[in-house]
Structure 1
């Protein structure tokens, strides 16, 4: 379900990019979509400082910035549980993607971007951050939560592929199974992956598996 204008207006976003023109374009697009841009900054250190002060609902920042880069800033904001981070990037480097994932980044916007691309990324990123917050409450340790998220993301992908579930429903199924079985979400996710892999290895060629 698409968010209403009122719901978007309550989403407070901080924008960080060292290029003033990109900051201006991004602010105009976000404002036009109904979001509340609470601050704009030009480097990672300022993004961290203002995020601590303003407590935005989301931070959108460039991956390459002076002082502190976007990934390092995202790691700090994630560790301190301040806000989810969406990275702006013109790079497809797998090493950067892995580093960003390990830092807790929840979404990406690829430059050059269009206004129509922003809302789906923002809403999905907010959902993923809520999921990660639930995982962190269960696991406790940040590093363990990040590792658990990787397993849960893979299991969600299986449920989405096999059962045609939306991403949020796939997470809810894992969480409900975890609560019903009194097992951790990581254990449930690992069971889903194991079942899927066993089904794939034993299913006749061309036959679809049911998963879990």
Structure 2
């Protein structure tokens, strides 16, 4: 397994135990932190697939750090740990998009399967986000091409098909994508 994991906990023994469990299961622990600010720094540097983070920590707690990490998209996902169950924490964890929530002490038999599930969900979410981004880009390209066609139709007195053919010709002649040509036309003619 080559998934990168960061462990965040203010208790050194907990970090050591988690690292040992993860490495025995074949995971790559690429960093550790003792508070939320350190966690953000490590995630910016390492871009892990999963952050396993304690909620209660000094300086900046795990929920606030998770919110920042998810907002900046500097980790694939977050698995939150806590010493006690609290409905308010679970609700906040859901709101920030945490992939999992475990109560300490950890059951070794359920910890690794939970990590595996979180990593799988993170991968699916990233795939969906990439698809959304690609569709959004295609939609933006389509819009700019329609704008460029309209401008060419107006400026050169062409019908829609002729304007599109001209865009395609300019694209091939200039060895640029049709959307790049359309963006230039939109700037030049507006």
TM-score (norm 2): 0.64
Query: What is aligned with 2:50?
Result: 58
SS in 2 for 1:91: coil
Partner residue in 1 for 2:68? 76
- Matched residue, 1:19: 11
| Alignment correspondent of 1:28 | 20
Q: Give yes or no for contact 2:7–2:52 (8 Å, CA) kept in 1.
A: yes
SS of alignment partner, residue 101 of structure 1:
helix
Alignment of 1:146-157 (within 5 A): none
Matches within 5 A, 1:172-187: none
Higher relative contact order, chain-length normalized (CA < 8 Å, sep 6+): 2
Work out which of the two has the higher radius of gyration on C-alpha atoms and give 1 or 2.
2
Unaligned runs of 5+ in 2: 134-190
Which residue of structure 1 aligns with residue 143 of structure 2?
Answer: none
Structure 1 segments unaligned to the other structure (5+ residues)? 1-7, 141-212
Off by >6 Å, runs of 4+ in structure 1? none
Contact 1:108 1:121 in 2 (8 A): no
Number of corresponding residues: 132
| Alignment partner of 2:41 out of 49, 55, 69 | 49
Query: Which residue in the other structure is 1:87 paired with?
Result: 80
Q: 2 CA distance for matches of 1:13 and 1:138?
A: 24
Q: What's the C-alpha RMSD, in Å, of the aligned pairs?
A: 1.7
Distance, in Å, in 2 between the alignment partners of 1:102 and 1:134 is 21
Residue aligned with 1:86, SS: strand
Give the secondary-structure state (helix, strand or coil) at the position aligned to 2:74.
coil
Question: Which of the numbers 107, 118, 140 marks the counterpart of 1:114?
Answer: 107
The aligned residue for residue 126 of structure 1 is 119
